[in-house]
Every structure is written in structure tokens, then in C-alpha cells.
Amino acid sequence: MGPYELLKAGLSDIFGECPDETVESFRRLTEYMTEYNKKVNLTRITEPRDVVRLHYLDCAAIFTAVDITSGASVIDVGTGAGFPGLVMKILRPDIRLCLLDSSNKRIDYLKSAADMLSLSGIDFVHGRAEELSRESAYRDSFDFAVSRAVAALPVLCELCMPFVRVGGRFVSLKGSGAHDEAKSAGSAVRLLGGEGARVVPVTIPGGDESHHLVEIKKSRPTPARFPRKNAVIKKSPL
């Protein structure tokens, strides 16, 4: 099966169907990202089959385990080349998306990629999570915060949970160590206003990687003392 047949089959499994236009958008995105990657470091994954599996289908797996309601607001913290946020937006144009990254070059890439795909309803933000979540417009306000490959879960909780509204969810995409990470993040989750951590295994078609989603519900506002400064978060994770 070619990469885009695999993509169509994988997305059809998740959504019940996958229009050809969606596959075409992802094919154009691969071309665009691979070309842009020659001048700005976006990703080490460039073979179309790997891009399809390890970027697109991996990120799309969020929809297998988490109920992202229609029109939900979603912030992708440390989005890089748009994973998982841009993939979510292509698949679900109804979401209101904020793509956040501390690299302005990646934010510029994301603006041009979204423009190329005629995607609207995206807020592109260059900044650091631990600073932005102190601003009232961003604090305790998103239905979902999502993140992949940014930090270990105790650190990531402090970067992401302040953005989530009470009743919302923080969803992180993790590898084989997800259960251990979830255990080690127990006190961070409680301190930041969260409640438990649900670990869900996900299967990526065409391979046997062990990937997981970790979903944390926010049940109380995050105390004002969080997030701490970057150096403190790194030195003494909660």
C-alpha cells in the first residue's frame, strides 16, 4: 500500500470516511514541509510513508480516544511543524486552534503552510508557554491543550495545564513510557488543578510502535503560583 492509500485507510478507520480532498491536503503539506525543511529545521521525518504514519496518523489518533467537541478551542503547546495541531485542524476545520511555539521560524512556516492550505481560524503565537499562560486571555480558557514531544509529563503539565479551562482536558501524545510518566506526574496533576490521568494505547497502521495518549481532566483553576519560571520548572519538576 502506498503512503497516501495508507493514510486514507487509517483516516477512514477513525472517521468512517476520508474524502480525497483531505488526502490531497496532506499530500501537499508533505511536499511543502519537505521543501521548507531544506531551509528551516522542521522535522527529521521526511520519507512520505514515515510522514504519513509518524506525523499524520499518530496525531489523528487523538480523535480515536478523546471527544473533541464541535467548535472546541484547542491550544497546541510547542507545536513545531504543526503536530498535532495542524493535523487536527485539517481533519476538523471546526476547531478554534492556537498554535504556540517558542521558535519564530516555525511559526512563520506554520502561517505559510496554513495559507497554502487555505485554513482559517488559527491563532499563530510566538512565545513561551510558561509566560503566555500568565496572560488573562490565555489562562484557564481553552477546552483542550494538546502537546507532543516537548517535555517529560511532570514538566509538560506545568506548561500546559494553566491554559485549560475548568472542565477541559490536557492531552499529551506519548511513547512507550506513558504509564511511568503518568505515575511520575501524579503530584504535578493534583497541584495544577487536574484530576487523574487516563492512559490510552493507540495503534498506528503499518507498524508496531507503542504510542499512547495521556488525558488529564482539569477540575479546579490552576493556582496563581504556577507556572513557575522556566529555570525553576526544569530544575525542580513538580
Question: Which residues of this chain interact with ligand SAM, rule CB under 6 A?
Answer: 78-81, 83, 100-103, 106, 128-130, 148-150, 159
At what angle are helices 20-36 and 104-116 packed, to 10 degrees? 140
108 in the Ramachandran plot: left (φ > 0), alpha (ψ -120 to 50) or beta?
Answer: alpha
Residue placing its CB nearer to ligand SAM in the complex, 196 or 238:
238
Distance CA 204, CA 216 (A): 22
Q: Shortest Cβ distance from residue 87 to ligand SAM (Å)?
A: 10
Cis peptide before 227 (omega within 30 of 0): yes
Q: Looking at beta carbons only, is 151 or 167 nearer to ligand SAM?
A: 151
128 phi/psi in degrees, rounded to 5: -105, 135
Q: How far is the CB of 233 from ligand SAM (least distance, A)?
A: 8
- Shortest-Cβ-distance residue relative to ligand SAM: 80
Helix (H) or strand (E) holding 201: strand 194-202
- What's the min distance (Å) between Cβ of 55 and ligand SAM? 7
Which CB sits closer to ligand SAM, 17 or 225? 225
Going by the DSSP 8-state scheme, the letter that residue 162 receives in this structure is G
Name the residue nearer to ligand SAM (CB basis): 99 or 216. Answer: 99
Q: Three-state DSSP class for 111?
A: helix
> Is 140 or 158 the residue whose CB approaches ligand SAM more closely?
158
Q: How far is the CB of 40 from ligand SAM (least distance, A)?
A: 11
